[in-house]
Chains A and B, each alone.
Chain A
């Protein structure tokens, strides 16, 4: 490289390196170190796996961890099932103005804060809420019904909150499938189901993978929705992290929890990429 080009290279490289090392790499290494130490006295620490052992030996922690993972997988699946037909409609059936209008409508809810969306569901679902009143007015139930503070409410909130992140990649990949290819599938004797299975879904796989990764991540790391819609005992892993850090001030255990969450999410993302033969650059970039 010529001197000028080399200077330019260094100038462009340094912000990236500073950002990634000071805000991502070193903090995570530091968090790992903190999670690996045990407090033995005032200001005295030693390296041990005590925090991770606490996690394994305390049924509540382990159960919450597994429950969070399972619920997130379920939320991802439901989001995919709901979003796929919608994305297909937007990408392949709606045309022209309707198409762009529908796509824009999908984005609207996500321009406002997650807090507002969750708040909306609270107004709808709670005992004095709209749906409870509606059911009473229709004579389907006798008294007010509490629809909030249960797992179904958490699920509704998670699915709603993540919808956009499934719809956008799906619409993008489905749009790139030429009509001609679908027509060829029918022309050669395929029907709706076989065309879906052999042509549309394989084509949409990169979109499905990136949508699922993001939705899973967002669900796993969500704090607001489980707290607000699931109530105090919603048993979400992020709540444990928050309470160790902010309420109990046990940073060592909190950092260990944080690392477990990170490990779980990385593992699932990695597994999904491996399973479908995709790479992170292609799915995210």
Chain B
């Protein structure tokens, strides 16, 4: 099936800086696609080019197979939910939602019906006469989406719309947005710097850094099989050590960190050889903790250490383990069974993990 949105070699320069550097991607019909990256990575620039508020320096943007490069923003079959929502404060809710339909020249009565339907769809029937500032943050969010969706766009762009909400509401809106996308069955392109938003909602995620896409894939791909050190470090929490490779053996490697710890990891097909500088990433939840070394005998990384500090955070509690030399620090998730809840600072613990969990990347040349 033809993709809803396709960007081909998209490039945008501002003076000497390249904000978007030769980016190509496709978004299949009906999917939820996220662009995830730190602020300043160029994701907003991509979005504004798709919406038509910025002209690309090079490359093409196709929507349902047709180039929209020469189409002004008001004629493009894409709509945008702005970062601060940009609801029109001078109009009531019904007029906000009906705005685009009025522009399209739809008869009044029909607009009224459509608006009422849209309000029902977002679970806010009968509030059309209210003012924008009478709505809560989450309700505004839904109105902003409805305002776009009544126009039945081919692609809906969302520019970090959850950024302004508080934490609890943000969690709820993630679920709600995903449900709205399914209900409207429209292609969503979502940009965010919050990995949890991207992971929870998206079918596909592009991780962006310094104007380029580092990796495009599902949440699981990014989390378990990162292609680059940036993705490994940016998506999810992780231990990260720099060091030198001492030995390689097939896909497995042995690396000594700069803090002096020796550990096994995996190259996952990347070319690495002994003597190279490298970085290794191990997720805290991949590391097991035990009272005795025997329980960990099946792991190829084993270590004895002391509890440096305990970071209690309910189900996400962690400890920081100091290795025997006292130089190396390792973050380890505590099992949720509560079996280690009596640990105190200074207790001796055994930890171990499988070498396959230690993602190894050549260190950036610098």
Given a CB threshold of 8 Å, the question of whether A touches B is answered with yes
Interface contact B74-A189, CB-CB below 8 Å: yes
CB contacts (< 8 Å) of A183 on chain B: these are 51, 53, 73, 80, 82, 86
CA distance A184 to B75 in the complex (A): 12
CB contacts (< 8 Å) of B84 on chain A: these are 178, 180
Selected interface stretch from B26-34, B99-107, B178-186, B345-353: B99-107
Selected interface stretch from A99-107, A164-172, A195-203: A195-203
CA distance A83 to B73 in the complex (A): 28
CB contacts (< 8 Å) of A187 on chain B: these are 51-52, 73-74, 76, 78-80
Interface contact B91-A188, CB-CB below 8 Å: no
A194 close to chain B: CB less than 8 A: yes
A45 close to chain B: CB less than 8 A: no
Output the least CB separation between A174 and chain B (Å). Answer: 13
Binary CB contact string for chain A from 185 to 215 against chain B (1 if under 8 A, 0 otherwise): 1111111001000110011010000000000
Contact residue among B89, B90, B100 (Cβ-Cβ distance under 8 Å from A189): B100
What bracket does the count of chain A residues touching chain B fall in?
10 to 19
Output the least CB separation between B162 and chain A (Å). Answer: 16
Binary CB contact string for chain A from 59 to 103 against chain B (1 if under 8 A, 0 otherwise): 000000000000000000000000000000000000000000000
A181 close to chain B: CB less than 8 A: yes
CA distance A220 to B86 in the complex (A): 40
CB contacts (< 8 Å) of A178 on chain B: these are 84, 86
Binary CB contact string for chain B from 63 to 102 against chain A (1 if under 8 A, 0 otherwise): 0000000001111101110111011111100000001100
CB contacts (< 8 Å) of B52 on chain A: these are 186-187
| Minimal Cβ-Cβ distance residue in A for B48 | A183
Interface contact B82-A188, CB-CB below 8 Å: no
Contact residue among B87, B89, B103 (Cβ-Cβ distance under 8 Å from A194): B103
CB contacts (< 8 Å) of A181 on chain B: these are 86, 88-89
B151 close to chain A: CB less than 8 A: yes
**Which of A189, A191, A198 has most chain B Cβ within 10 Å?**
A189
CB contacts (< 8 Å) of B104 on chain A: these are 189
CB contacts (< 8 Å) of B72 on chain A: these are 186
Output the least CB separation between B124 and chain A (Å). Answer: 19
CA distance A174 to B84 in the complex (A): 18
Q: Main SS of chain A's interface residues?
A: helix
CA distance A11 to B173 in the complex (A): 54
CB contacts (< 8 Å) of B148 on chain A: these are 188
B244 close to chain A: CB less than 8 A: no
CB contacts (< 8 Å) of B89 on chain A: these are 181, 203
B193 close to chain A: CB less than 8 A: no
Output the least CB separation between A149 and chain B (Å). Answer: 45
CB contacts (< 8 Å) of A184 on chain B: these are 80, 82, 86-88
Interface contact A188-B100, CB-CB below 8 Å: yes
| Minimal Cβ-Cβ distance residue in A for B72 | A186
B277 close to chain A: CB less than 8 A: no
B147 close to chain A: CB less than 8 A: yes
CB contacts (< 8 Å) of B91 on chain A: these are 198, 202
CA distance A178 to B104 in the complex (A): 24
Number of B positions contacting A (CB below 8 A): 27
Output the least CB separation between B196 and chain A (Å). Answer: 25
Contact residue among A180, A198, A203 (Cβ-Cβ distance under 8 Å from B99): A198
Contact residue among A180, A188, A202 (Cβ-Cβ distance under 8 Å from B90): A202
CA distance A178 to B83 in the complex (A): 11
Interface contact A185-B53, CB-CB below 8 Å: no
CB contacts (< 8 Å) of A190 on chain B: these are 74, 99-100, 103
Interface contact A189-B151, CB-CB below 8 Å: yes
CB contacts (< 8 Å) of B75 on chain A: these are 189
**Which of B52, B83, B90, B147 has most chain A Cβ within 10 Å?**
B90
Output the least CB separation between A243 and chain B (Å). Answer: 47
Output the least CB separation between A104 and chain B (Å). Answer: 27
Interface contact B74-A186, CB-CB below 8 Å: yes
CA distance A186 to B78 in the complex (A): 11
CA distance A181 to B88 in the complex (A): 7
Interface contact B99-A185, CB-CB below 8 Å: yes
CA distance A104 to B323 in the complex (A): 65
| Minimal Cβ-Cβ distance residue in B for A192 | B74
CA distance A205 to B90 in the complex (A): 10
Interface contact A180-B82, CB-CB below 8 Å: yes
CB contacts (< 8 Å) of B73 on chain A: these are 183, 186-187
CA distance A183 to B72 in the complex (A): 12
**Given A183-B53, A183-B73, does the pair A189, B86 have CB atoms closer than 8 Å?**
no
Output the least CB separation between A21 and chain B (Å). Answer: 39
Interface contact A180-B88, CB-CB below 8 Å: no
CB contacts (< 8 Å) of A185 on chain B: these are 88, 99
| Minimal Cβ-Cβ distance residue in A for B79 | A187
**Which of B83, B89, B103 has most chain A Cβ within 10 Å?**
B103
Q: Which of A154-179 contact B (CB under 8 A)?
A: 178
CA distance A205 to B53 in the complex (A): 26
CB contacts (< 8 Å) of B151 on chain A: these are 188-189
CB contacts (< 8 Å) of B88 on chain A: these are 181, 184-185, 198-199
CB contacts (< 8 Å) of A198 on chain B: these are 88, 90-91, 99
CB contacts (< 8 Å) of B78 on chain A: these are 187
Output the least CB separation between B140 and chain A (Å). Answer: 13
Output the least CB separation between B126 and chain A (Å). Answer: 23
Report, nearest first, the 7 A-B pairs whose CB atoms are least far apart.
A188-B100, A189-B103, A202-B90, A184-B86, A180-B86, A186-B74, A181-B86
New contact pairs (14) apart from A180-B82, A181-B88, A202-B90, CB-CB < 8 Å: A180-B84, A183-B73, A184-B88, A185-B88, A187-B76, A188-B147, A188-B148, A188-B151, A189-B104, A190-B100, A191-B74, A191-B103, A194-B103, A199-B88
Q: Can you report 6 residue pairs joining A to B where beta carbons are below 8 Å apart?
A: A180-B86, A181-B86, A187-B80, A188-B103, A189-B100, A189-B104
